[in-house]
Structure 1
Amino acid sequence: MLLFLLIYSVIVWAVIEIFVILFRLTGLKVEVSRFQVISMMTGTGFTTEESELILGHPVRRKLGSFLILFGAFSLAVIISSISQFLSNGLRTKEILLAAAAVIVVFAVLKLDVVQRFLARTFNRKMKQQIELADMPIRDVFLKNKDDTLINLHIYQDSELVNRTLNEAAADHDELELVALLIIRGKVRIVKHIYDTPIQEGDQILLFGMKKVISKTFAHDLQLMEENHKKLQPA
């Protein structure tokens, strides 16, 4: 029984590492990949915000589906194997072959040439089959570490009230600053954004470099942070 548990633990470990590699090849960080892989296999902890990185990516969703099924299957195998061991004895040979096969797959995936091939395959599949709307915001906008996407809330004391974005950031083109839309109640303003007078209660979706947005809208970002702190429970 101890031998079986040891061998099966090796199989589970190898499967985890295989899928960590696969998720990393889709652009996910290693530490995030490992936590989400373990979460999906065990059915616990997969309700974190980071799970959106899996759900919003079609290739990762397919990998995740296999992991969830593998986790459920593993539990059934362990239970049935314990039952078989108690009744007829354990077939160690088959378990060893399964462990060897999984370890071979893991070793192959560790090869740089295989990882480069899979990375190209995943990227090509994304380009050919995936609509832009299906991709996570992070994969679409935040390609560089200096980029940011901010939903700027406008309050009564804002310096932007009754002003336009052209007035607030006249050189926005040179600053690599883009206003994507203005949300005003249930209305979404996408036309003439830079010439639309801003009102209290508006939300402006901004994209650009962190330091540029932080400098251009420093007062409003500070107001937003202060108001968020007031809403937090003491």
Structure 2
Amino acid sequence: MILLFLLIYFIIILVVIEIFVILFQMTGLKVKVSRFQVISMMTGTGYTTGESELILGHPIRRKLAAFLISFGAFSLAVIISSVSQFLSNGLRTTEILIGAAVVIIIYCILKIECIQLVLSKLFNHELKHKVELADLPIRDLFLKNKEDILILLPLYKESELADSSLIQLITNHDSLDFAILFIERGDVIIRKNIYDTTLQEGDQLLLFGRKTVIHETFSHDLQIMKEKQKQQSDEI
């Protein structure tokens, strides 16, 4: 009997995971990322990965995450108490089967395409009307087009941009499909006269625009950045 209970409970857990994978997917999160984060939140392990910022930076995902974390702690308590009850008085499986049936029905409903479409519209409506712009994650604000990229480009001493201004090296910047949002120089953020400012080693440029254009325009500095990052990872 206890093996049957554990099997049913295991099925419930798997279905709950898939239910929340669907819900997170409806908020725009990728399936692979959703599944890992759902399992992490339910078990309380691995949630400190960088991908968790995709959850924390999204108001609707935060609400789903809060329920999952609570459910994970609650489900562990249920297993312990149920096993104890079985060992003492015997365990009735009727309630467990009913619970499993309810969870499976919910999962089947969420798999219906029209239901998913309604949920997606509902989540987007909540974001547009009840969420401040500053609360949205960067991905939702800037990277709406798959061809766009947002990158923080550091300048090293080998950089062609060091000791020069952008207007000297990129004469046709007005016609290119990208923008430099600001220059970070230590604790100072430079937003005015960006293209006339003489760049220095250690500056960081926040670039936004079409990926192919940025990679072509800043190919030398991007290559230096990759080499430096690889060198640092090898040292670690």
TM-score by length of 2: 0.95
**Stretches of structure 1 lacking an aligned partner (at least 5 in a row):** none
User: After alignment, is 142-151 or 118-127 more displaced?
Assistant: 142-151
Q: Which residue of 2 aligns with 1:198?
A: 199
Q: Which residue of 1 aligns with 2:140?
A: 139
User: After alignment, is 188-197 or 77-86 more displaced?
Assistant: 188-197
Q: Which residue of 2 aligns with 1:10?
A: 11
Once the two structures are TM-superposed, the CA of residue 131 in structure 1 deviates from its matched residue by 1.8
Q: Which residue of 1 aligns with 2:22?
A: 21
Partner of 1:161: helix, strand, or coil? coil
**Where in structure 2 are the equivalents of 1:41-190 lying within 5 Å?**
41-190=42-191
Provide Cα deviations, 1:37-93, integer angstroms capped at 9, x if missing partner: 011101111111111111111100110110000000000000000011111111111
Partner of 1:159: helix, strand, or coil? coil
- CA distance in structure 1 between the partners assigned to 2:163 and 2:171 by the alignment: 15
Once the two structures are TM-superposed, the CA of residue 155 in structure 1 deviates from its matched residue by 1.8
- CA distance in structure 2 between the partners assigned to 1:229 and 1:45 by the alignment: 25
Provide Cα deviations, 1:148-191, integer angstroms capped at 9, x if missing partner: 11111112232212322223223223221100000111110011
Provide Cα deviations, 1:196-234, integer angstroms capped at 9, x if missing partner: 121222111111112111111111112222233333316
- CA distance in structure 2 between the partners assigned to 1:199 and 1:220 by the alignment: 13
Code of the residue aligned with 2:55 in structure 1: it is I
**Stretches of structure 2 lacking an aligned partner (at least 5 in a row):** none
- CA distance in structure 2 between the partners assigned to 1:173 and 1:122 by the alignment: 37
Code of the residue aligned with 2:88 in structure 1: it is S
Superposition RMSD in Å: 1.3
Code of the residue aligned with 1:11 in structure 2: it is I
- CA distance in structure 2 between the partners assigned to 1:24 and 1:126 by the alignment: 15
User: After alignment, is 129-138 or 75-84 more displaced?
Assistant: 129-138
Runs of 4 or more, structure 1, over 6 Å off, are none
Partner of 1:173: helix, strand, or coil? helix
- CA distance in structure 1 between the partners assigned to 2:228 and 2:105 by the alignment: 55
User: After alignment, is 171-180 or 84-93 more displaced?
Assistant: 171-180
Aligned length: 234
